[in-house]
Amino acid sequence: MPLLSNLATVQPYVPQMAYVAHFIWEYLRRAFDDYKVIACDNSAVEVALFGWCHVTQKQHIFHYYPGKDDNGVYVLKYRDYTDLNEKSFVYLGDHRNDMTQKIQKAFDGDSEPGSPLSRIPRYIIEEHIQNSEYKTIGGNLQLGIADRFGFRPFSICKPRVLGKPEAYLSYLGYELHQDITSVGHAIVNLPGMV
């Protein structure tokens, strides 16, 4: 971020998101090449850069992932997804084929009470985080909206007890309560999503 926040040009210029994505790939692949020597199999990392390109007027998802080159050497690759619609998604993480198939199948179904199709990836991923059979899928969800106005993160409104009305706001798995909502006399005012 510090490198991209300090770009300079002689004339007014906004680079295409594809140029930014390529720059990030060049930087990440150098870091990946250095790290894979130390961490070996544990160096696998996936990253997504996503957002609205003001030059091309398109939404993009750039997916960075480890893969083998023509010589069988692990390198960091990336792919640009631009033909996006309301059912588009890019899943990062373990059990990719299984998760992708489940999400696509759910998109082909109907909305259910409490699980609208527009948020179906969230519910499937959340279900697998809680399922002990998927030991390598963990952590917490981060929800947000990415559009031509930028990325807006949301906290998640979660019930304290499933089926009961009492709920709390969570961000990246942590309850936003008194000790982590105040910054001096200001409060964290992150909108929530159910």
- Segment of 14-28, 109-123, 134-148, 167-181 carrying the highest mean pLDDT: 14-28
Buried b (16+ CB within 10 A) or exposed e, 17-56: bbebbeebbeebbeebeeebeeeeeebebeeebbbbbeee
Q: In whole numbers, what is the pLDDT of the chain averaged over residues?
A: 86
- Domain of 63, in residue numbers: 1-84
Residue 37 shares a structural domain with residue 59: yes
Residue 56 shares a structural domain with residue 113: no
For residues 89 and 104, is the Cβ–Cβ distance under 8 A? no
Distances (CA, A) of 98 to 37, 47, 72, 107: 30, 19, 25, 14
Last residue of a domain, one of 46, 65, 84: 84
Predicted pLDDT of residue 4: 87
Average pLDDT over residues 11-38: 86
Q: Which amino acid is at 6?
A: N
Residue 35 shares a structural domain with residue 111: no
pLDDT band at 40 (very low <50, low <70, confident <90, very high): low
Residue 6 shares a structural domain with residue 64: yes
Average pLDDT over residues 55-74: 89
Residue 78 shares a structural domain with residue 113: no
Average pLDDT over residues 146-175: 88
Token pair in block for residue 180: 């982590």
**% of the chain surpassing 70 pLDDT:** 95
Angle, alpha carbons 150-19-92 (nearest 5°): 65
